Amino acid sequence: MTERKKIAIIGGGNMGVALANGIVASGLHRASDITLTRRNLRSLESLAQEGFHITSNNEAAVAGADIIILSILPQQLNGVLDAIAPVVDPQRHLFVSIVTGVRVADIIQRVGKEVQVIRAMPNTAIAIRESMTCIAGSMATEENQALVRQIFQAVGETVEIEEELMTSATALCACGIAFFLRSIRAATQGGTEIGFHAGDALRMAAQTAKGAASLLLHFQSHPENEIDKVTSPKGCTIAGLNEMEHHGFSSAMIKGIKTSSHKAEQLYKNE
Ligand SMILES: NC(=O)C1=CN([C@@H]2O[C@H](COP(=O)(O)OP(=O)(O)OC[C@H]3O[C@@H](n4cnc5c(N)ncnc54)[C@H](OP(=O)(O)O)[C@@H]3O)[C@@H](O)[C@H]2O)C=CC1
Ligand SMILES: O=C(O)[C@@H]1CCC=N1
């Protein structure tokens, strides 16, 4: 269905490049269907050799595309929208924004045209097509919602949410990658203190974390169900787990997620 659509990714940074590579790896589009933009093109040159189009000219990229994926920082958005607004055609263009903290209404207002906008919040696991992407855009047509779902489904899992929950999704799923990685790093440091070389400890901790997440997804069970299977009575797991809780393990994660959600809400307003 999306085979013939042309895509412009405005902002070929971490996420823009990972998304472009993921879409092509999934077979949904060819590299030649995708244009990536950024001001400094040097880091995109290898992509050009793979068949992607690269340019610093956002207006030209938009004019040549059907789907416009906004992948710039919140503080860079207004300048870009002002520049591309004259070439935006609401009959042709579908906007997909992964920009944190920016509402659909903000984009429509800045562009000054009734263009369709769908928000998506992927995470960096998009690079290996394992993203958890939250999508909001119920004002767009069913066809366009399906189109966007298809793109992000090609690079991981998707869930549709109300737009008002988008900054919460940012904290839980996008920032969440860093939270889980930090907990793996902490486990690695613990592992080193009890006898493993750092590299071995990291591999052991990462595979253990992957196993824990896979148990939940495979059995569709609650974490406490799986924890109950690990914690032998008077055993070593419950002793360690309770020690962590005495030091605020769950509380730290909850407070961090709330802080990130609040910050995500502020990013565009304070740009
Ligand atoms: N990183 C993450 O985990 C996630 C990020 N997001 C959101 O996605 C967006 C992108 O994040 P991320 O990829 O990490 O950020 P990056 O800073 O890596 O990418 C932003 C890119 O935009 C380019 N850019 C800046 N100004 C312009 C312009 N005027 N025209 C064209 N390109 C421009 C920059 O390149 P240059 O300076 O060369 O122009 C840069 O490559 C942000 O809004 C972020 O909040 C969403 C989910 C997860
Ligand atoms: O830290 C940030 O602001 C971006 C948005 C979500 C993940 N990274």
Which CATH number belongs to the domain containing residue 127 in this structure?
3.40.50.720
Ligand 2 centroid, distance to 101 Cα (angstroms): 10
Residue nearest to atom 7 of ligand 1 (CA): 99
Number of domains in the chain: 2
Which pLDDT score is estimated for 102?
96
Residue 167 burial (10 A CB sphere; 0-12, 13-18, 19+)? buried
Range of the domain at 93: 7-166
Tell me what ipTM this predicted complex has.
Answer: 0.99
The residue whose CA is least distant from atom 1 of ligand 2 is 175
117 with 108: CB under 8 angstroms?
Answer: yes
pLDDT at residue 222, as a whole number: 97
Same domain, residue pair 147 and 200? no
Query: Per residue of the chain (271 residues), what is the pLDDT tens digit?
Result: 445 699 999 999 999 999 999 999 999 999 999 999 999 999 999 999 999 999 999 999 999 999 999 999 999 999 999 999 999 999 999 999 999 999 999 999 999 999 999 999 999 999 999 999 999 998 899 999 999 999 999 999 999 999 999 999 999 999 999 999 999 999 999 999 999 999 999 999 999 999 999 999 999 999 999 999 999 999 999 999 999 999 999 999 999 999 999 999 999 877 6
- The β-bridge relationship of strands 94-97 and 116-121 is parallel
Distance 221 CA to ligand 1 centre (A): 36
| Ligand nearest to the Cα of 268, by number | 1
The domain boundary, picked from 147, 166, 185, lies at 166
Distance of CA 166 to the CA centre of its chain: 12
SS3 93: coil
Q: CATH number for the domain including 215?
A: 1.10.3730.10
Q: Is the pTM of this model over 0.90?
A: yes
